[in-house]
């Protein structure tokens, strides 16, 4: 298994220690103003938030310090005009190459949870602190009560395309829970089926729990959630009931963690636009 690269704040991965974001009302998402564009160049504006209602910023702005924009040629691009408000973060991306771009926020790490002698809950590393392997033995009591050590990853992403779609950005990183499109994410149409493959640290994520919700949920009483589970090859299929912006939320958990962790979890959330036929 690939060694963890811990470079981001553990504040960002706190939600990954559950099997799925659906255990809580708060969901992280990045919403593009457009997903399919034409011309020699174009701009896309993005909203990024963690909210109770999908695509409606009502809780707090998403931290985008670890955001990576991957261009069609595989190189990274800088965002422009970034601004963080109380409920959402906004930024622009200039599309100068023809093809598909991937916009991703990713973090991973190891956390330990236990109770002290007084029954108070303890956590290491603390919020905002980095995991340092050499400090584990002196920071986490070996005989701690209710000790739980978890390896977790969190990925939030979306895709946009200028001109002809491309696939280079789908190359797996083999870190954490990843969605690898079989059907191109900017070629989705209502009433048609789309197929995706899930990987966990480069291997098929079998039995991952997938929930698909169409945007505009604040204007209807039923969330109309589509629930599926990835198969033995890590694949799942979604038939889009109608056009619109969709939120895909995925949770994964197994016992194949990197030591000293005993549990491995992964979470994924993605934004996809489905067009009418």
Domain extent listing, the chain: 10-108+150-274
Instruction: Tell me the CA distances in angstroms from 53 to 22, 121, 148, 160, one per residue in order.
Output: 12, 30, 31, 23
Instruction: Please give the share of the chain, as a percent, with pLDDT higher than 70.
Output: 91
Neighbours of 2 (CB within 10 A): 11
The answer, yes or no, to whether residue 19 has pLDDT greater than 80, is: no
Could you tell me the pLDDT band of residue 181, with boundaries at 50, 70 and 90? very high
- CA gyration radius for the chain? 19
Mean pLDDT in residue range 197-208: 98
Neighbours of 171 (CB within 10 A): 11
Angle (nearest 5°) at CA 109 between 45 and 145: 135
Higher pLDDT, 184 or 117: 184
- Give residue 129's pLDDT: 79
Please, what is the average pLDDT of the chain?
Answer: 90
Token couple for 144: 């701690």
Range with lowest mean pLDDT among 10-24, 117-131, 222-236: 10-24
* Dist. CA 129–CA 6, nearest whole Å: 11
- The one-character DSSP state at 145 is E
Could you tell me the pLDDT band of residue 26, with boundaries at 50, 70 and 90? confident
Mean pLDDT in residue range 119-123: 91
Neighbours of 145 (CB within 10 A): 11
Instruction: Tell me the CA distances in angstroms from 5 to 77, 184, 221, one per residue in order.
Output: 21, 29, 42
Could you tell me the pLDDT band of residue 37, with boundaries at 50, 70 and 90? very high
- Give residue 25's pLDDT: 60
The CATH class, in words, for 10-108+150-274 is: mainly beta
The answer, yes or no, to whether residue 23 has pLDDT greater than 80, is: no
Higher pLDDT, 129 or 238: 238
* Dist. CA 10–CA 97, nearest whole Å: 34
**Bridge partners (DSSP) listed for residue 256:** none
* Dist. CA 90–CA 45, nearest whole Å: 7
Mean pLDDT in residue range 95-100: 97
- The one-character DSSP state at 16 is G
Segment 40-78, tens digit of pLDDT = 999 999 999 999 999 999 999 999 999 999 999 999 999
* Dist. CA 129–CA 149, nearest whole Å: 16
Token couple for 268: 């994924």
Segment 215-235, tens digit of pLDDT = 999 999 999 999 999 999 999
The answer, yes or no, to whether residue 121 has pLDDT greater than 60, is: yes
Burial tier of 228 (Cβ tally within 10 Å: 0-12, 13-18, 19+): middle
């Amino acid at each position: 298994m690939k060694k963890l690269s811990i470079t981001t704040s553990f504040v960002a991965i706190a939600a990954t220690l559950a099997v799925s974001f659906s255990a809580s009302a708060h969901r992280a998402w990045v919403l593009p103003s457009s997903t399919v564009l034409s011309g020699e160049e174009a701009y896309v504006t993005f909203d990024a938030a963690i909210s109770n209602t999908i695509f409606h910023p009502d809780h707090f702005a998403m931290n985008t310090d670890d955001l990576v924009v991957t261009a069609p040629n595989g190189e990274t691009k800088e965002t422009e005009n970034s601004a963080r408000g109380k409920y959402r973060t906004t930024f622009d991306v200039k599309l100068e190459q023809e093809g598909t771009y991937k916009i991703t926020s990713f973090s991973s790490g190891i956390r330990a949870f236990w109770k002290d002698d007084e029954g108070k809950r303890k956590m290491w590393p603390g919020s905002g602190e980095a995991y340092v392997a050499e400090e584990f033995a002196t920071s986490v009591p070996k005989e701690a009560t209710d000790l739980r050590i978890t390896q977790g990853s969190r990925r939030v992403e979306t895709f946009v395309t200028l001109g002809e779609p491309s696939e280079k950005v789908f190359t797996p990183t083999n870190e954490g829970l990843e969605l690898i499109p079989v059907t191109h994410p900017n070629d989705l149409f209502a009433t048609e089926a789309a197929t995706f493959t899930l990987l966990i640290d480069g291997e098929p994520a079998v039995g991952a729990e997938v929930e698909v919700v169409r945007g505009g949920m604040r204007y209807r009483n039923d969330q109309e959630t589509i629930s599926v589970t990835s198969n033995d090859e890590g694949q799942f299929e979604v038939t889009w009931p109608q056009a619109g912006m969709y939120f895909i939320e995925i949770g994964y958990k197994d016992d194949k963690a990197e030591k000293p962790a005993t549990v491995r979890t992964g979470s994924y959330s993605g934004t996809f636009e489905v067009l009418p036929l």
